[in-house]
Structure 1
Amino acid sequence: MITYLHKQFNNIISQLKNIEFVLVAISGGQDSICLVKLIEDFNTMYCSIKKIEYIYIDHQWRKDSKQQIKHLTNYIDQTPHNLSIYQIPKLTISELEARNLRYQIIIKHAIENHLSTIMTAHTQTDKIETFFQRLMRGASLNGTTSLNFKRQIHNNIQIIRPLIYIKRTDINWFCRKFFLPIWSDITNSYYNINRNRLRHELIPYLNQYFISSIEKHINKFIDESNINNDYIKQNAIKLYIISRHQTNIALNYLTIKPQHPAIQIRILQIFFYHNFNKALNRQISYQLLHLINKKNNNRKQIEWYNLIINIYNNWIYIN
């Protein structure tokens, strides 16, 4: 039976390029089980994906993690594809650190197994929850809208989120319709986890007492902000390529000086991330902006981590 979710999913995947070697990250919850069903049905119909693998990261935070692994194994065994399971020793780390660790493992697995597309089961609801989480952490426009449909995360590896336009309520309907075996995650009811409090308390409260359909309005804001953010990003990349030194790790700030501060900051962020894999913080960003926009041309130095940033003779360079 082809549902409207099948049609939406099939239309999205059919329009994408290079979806041939796919690694699907799953958790056992309703979103990932729904994704398994959709991608398996898609490939049965079109046979366009040459290789599909599944991956599960077990942080061993829950007492029932071994039972969940058995549950997932039994379900994936019904497909012709492999499931890789990585178990991480129980660590006391934050949600953000756990997320970063998961992505490191997933990307490494994709590289080693020559899988060019990573697929996750993030939904429209996840996008809104992530927006709130990052907004409260003081993230920029780039950070609060970073959970996008598609992103290049490595030289030849892309991550796609084909459920990002679908609400969790629709996915719940889909799972019930096909009697999909969803693992009930007890940690989803732990209110000491920020995302759960957003999901069960804050967003319903805003919906009831401030504005109905708030998720629809926030989703519209995120999508429009993504367009603006992408415009800034593309212009910053072009200017970075023009202003960087051809052989040395240096940036000619005369090229970026006439630009709007939003562009200037983004170019500086690209420079440090591209050359040192470091995210430039707000304090250093504004300190550098102040120095490159000053009229005098005296040598200035800023120490940041193990880097000595020099501003002199129209150049920013590192000792």
Structure 2
Amino acid sequence: MKKLNLKKNETLIEYFIKKNDITNILIAISGGQDSIYLIKTLERLKRQVSKPKLNLSYIYIDHQWKKSSNTQVKHIISHIKLIKSNMIIYQINKKTLSEDECRKCRYNIIIQHAIKYKFQLIITGHSATDKIETFIQNIIKGSGIESLSSLSIKSKISSKIFILRPLLNLDREMIYWMCKKFYLSIWSDSTNYFYKIQRNRIRQELIPYIKKYLHINIENNIISLINNYHYQNEYIKQNTIKLYIKSQHNKRAAINYKKINTQNFILQIKIIQLFCFHNFQMYLENSKLIKIIYYINIKSIYLSKIISCNNFNFFINKNWFYLNIKKSI
């Protein structure tokens, strides 16, 4: 099973590169076992692929969480020098233990770097274990179905830049086994044991507890659930787009709510969200979405202002649901 998954993993990267004519690749690394194995895989692939010729460059974001950060940076630099490749390091001066803030900052730096230096593909070392931990975090936050299945193998962040997460089908145990097999130097990161970071507590305490006392196959079950949610989410998105196109006004920022209020509640929510984002790149709070759905389901209604949000007003007039900009006084 391990050999099969590993072969599929390498084939996926090669197929994606050739299909999209990728030549310039930016690899985001952390120095942990996932990153070290990813480097090994990509450098081997670089030697095997003759056309197109691959240009690999590595990027490392140093949040300077601990005193040994400089030592870790030196370890990563030494490893990259051994393989004779290029690497850029960004150091974050503002220290924070907020995982959400760090993640947003990290992604912003990586994407801006990719845009500036014209990289076509960003590859990250996220594994199946990361996918499970992210799923649990999103459940705790009360996230919707999109977030529960958001960490996908491939995605597109612009017309010219892709993100690929080729290790998502491999768990940490399998990656650790491969690192040992190839005698790869793994950096032991002490920040993995900072329990103020929620992900660490999930990894070190919650999942082991569930496996020991509740269900030993919890990780496989969560992966199956994530896959199911992915297909459900795709179905909902496709139907939302179809209904939104059918209900649009041909001139104004409006939709025919009579074509919406006969639909399932979740489709009504999604169409209103898409309507707001498509016209004004605006996200509505859940309470305001519920209020809008309530009004568009009332059968007898004449010209009526429903709610205000930021600089916008929402109206219903006859069969149409409108959004317009508030007039300045």
Question: Could you tell me the TM-score, scaled by structure 2's length?
Answer: 0.89
Match of 1:205 in 2: 209
Match of 2:106 in 1: 102
Q: Is the 8 A contact 2:305 2:315 kept in 1?
A: yes
Match of 1:229 in 2: 233
Distance in structure 2 (CA, Å) of the matches to 1:41 and 1:171: 16
TM-aligned CA distance change 1:309 to 1:53, over 3 Å: farther
Question: What amino acid does structure 1 have at the position aligned with 2:147?
Answer: G
The CA deviation string for residues 217-259 of structure 1, in whole angstroms up to 9 with x for no partner, is 1111111111111111122123333434455444343333332
Question: What amino acid does structure 2 have at the position aligned with 1:312?
Answer: N
Match of 2:224 in 1: 220
Deviation of 1:158 after TM superposition, in Å, equals 2.0
Structure 1, 107-116 or 149-158: larger mean CA deviation: 149-158
TM-aligned CA distance change 1:35 to 1:176, over 3 Å: same
Q: Do structure 1's residue 308 and structure 2's residue 316 form an aligned pair?
A: no
Question: What amino acid does structure 1 have at the position aligned with 2:10?
Answer: N
Deviation of 1:196 after TM superposition, in Å, equals 0.9
Q: Do structure 1's residue 30 and structure 2's residue 33 form an aligned pair?
A: yes
Q: Do structure 1's residue 119 and structure 2's residue 145 form an aligned pair?
A: no
Which consecutive unaligned segments of at least 5 residues does structure 1 have?
none
Match of 2:323 in 1: 317
Please show how residues 290-305 of structure 1 align to structure 2 within 5 Å: 290-295=294-299, 296-305=301-310
Q: Is the 8 A contact 2:124 2:164 kept in 1?
A: yes
Q: Is the 8 A contact 1:29 1:182 kept in 2?
A: yes
Distance in structure 2 (CA, Å) of the matches to 1:274 and 1:77: 47
Structure 1, 280-289 or 192-201: larger mean CA deviation: 280-289
Structure 1, 271-280 or 12-21: larger mean CA deviation: 271-280
Q: Is the 8 A contact 1:9 1:38 kept in 2?
A: no
**4+ runs deviating over 6 angstroms:** none
Q: Is the 8 A contact 2:121 2:162 kept in 1?
A: yes
Question: What amino acid does structure 2 have at the position aligned with 1:309?
Answer: F
Deviation of 1:146 after TM superposition, in Å, equals 0.8
Please show how residues 56-205 of structure 1 align to structure 2 within 5 Å: 56-92=60-96, 94-205=98-209
Match of 1:44 in 2: 47
Deviation of 1:181 after TM superposition, in Å, equals 2.0
Match of 2:265 in 1: 261
Question: What amino acid does structure 1 have at the position aligned with 2:66?
Answer: R
Structure 1, 56-65 or 36-45: larger mean CA deviation: 56-65
Question: What amino acid does structure 1 have at the position aligned with 2:40?
Answer: K
Q: Is the 8 A contact 1:253 1:316 kept in 2?
A: no
Question: What amino acid does structure 1 have at the position aligned with 2:12?
Answer: I
TM-aligned CA distance change 1:37 to 1:3, over 3 Å: farther
Distance in structure 2 (CA, Å) of the matches to 1:134 and 1:111: 29
Distance in structure 2 (CA, Å) of the matches to 1:4 and 1:73: 32
Question: What amino acid does structure 2 have at the position aligned with 1:269?
Answer: Q
**Secondary structure at the residue paired with 1:154?**
coil
Deviation of 1:6 after TM superposition, in Å, equals 4.5
Structure 1, 123-132 or 287-296: larger mean CA deviation: 287-296
Question: Could you tell me the TM-score, scaled by structure 1's length?
Answer: 0.91
**Secondary structure at the residue paired with 2:215?**
coil
TM-aligned CA distance change 1:299 to 1:166, over 3 Å: same
**Secondary structure at the residue paired with 1:77?**
helix
Q: Flag the structure with larger Rg.
A: 2
Question: What amino acid does structure 1 have at the position aligned with 2:198?
Answer: N
Deviation of 1:136 after TM superposition, in Å, equals 0.6
Q: Is the 8 A contact 1:22 1:49 kept in 2?
A: no
Distance in structure 1 (CA, Å) of the matches to 2:38 and 2:250: 45
Structure 1, 43-52 or 203-212: larger mean CA deviation: 43-52
**Secondary structure at the residue paired with 1:259?**
coil
Between the two proteins, what is the percent identity of the paired residues? 42
Distance in structure 1 (CA, Å) of the matches to 2:210 and 2:137: 15
Q: Is the 8 A contact 1:28 1:183 kept in 2?
A: yes
**What is the alpha-carbon root mean square deviation over aligned residues?**
2.2
